[in-house]
Every structure is written in C-alpha cells, then in structure tokens.
Amino acid sequence: MITAIEALKLPTAQLTDEERIAADKLEADLEVHVRNNMKLNGVEYRTEEKNPVVIAEVNQRLKRAGWQPQWQMLAEPHKLNKAINSVIGFGLFLAPNDAAFAEVFRALLS
C-alpha cells in the first residue's frame, strides 16, 4: 500500500490556487474570531465554506498551531428533495491542545 507521505505528494493531493486562497481567508477569519471570542475552554466558529479540501488544509494548519480542532458538517434538507441533505458549511470547536495549556500554565507559575 502507498504510504500517506507518498500519497500526499501526488499531483491530485495538491491544493488548487482557489483552494489555497479560500484556506488563507478562512484562517484569517478564524484568527479574528479567536481574538474576539476566546474562552479558557476554546471557541466555537461557523463557516459557510463547503469544500472539504479547504477544511482539511485549515485543520492541519490549526493542529500545527497548537489547536485541537473538532469539525462538524452542517447540513439542511435539500429544497427540492427533502430526502437529501445539502451541506451548508462546517461548525468548528477549537480548543488549545495539552502542550499549549502546559506552556501557558508553566509561564504563569514562573
């Protein structure tokens, strides 16, 4: 089986320019939201971004920045066929990871 590292190097696994721009915008919007709404337990956020590739890219950026992201797809019944759901965006609960908490508490104690 191909390794995940090899698979991520494939041309089909690369972001398009549009996806990169969307990820950059979502990350910037998230930063403003966090700065304005952060609590000790984290912050909730909702986006209308529907592209799972963009969400995956931002998810990895958040993890590298010391966050524990938890995403939930947001859906509503399709307007023409109620048996089908339409994705309307994603909800995010964003909490600092254990290493971030440990570093802040160490700094506060010294």
Evaluate whether residue 75 is within a structural domain: yes
Predicted confidence at residue 83, as pLDDT, reads 87
- Which residue spans within 41-109 are E strands per DSSP? 43-47, 67-77, 85-96
CA 7: distance to chain centroid?
A: 21
Predicted confidence at residue 79, as pLDDT, reads 83
How many domains are there within the chain? 1
Question: What average pLDDT does the segment 7-30 reach?
Answer: 97
> Distance between CA 20 and CA 26 in Å, rounded?
10
What is this structure's pTM? 0.89
Evaluate whether residue 8 is within a structural domain: no
Predicted confidence at residue 78, as pLDDT, reads 85
Evaluate whether residue 2 is within a structural domain: no
Question: What average pLDDT does the segment 72-81 reach?
Answer: 91
Predicted confidence at residue 30, as pLDDT, reads 98
Evaluate whether residue 101 is within a structural domain: yes
Single out the residue of 82, 81, 30, 84 nearest to residue 54, CA to CA. Answer: 30
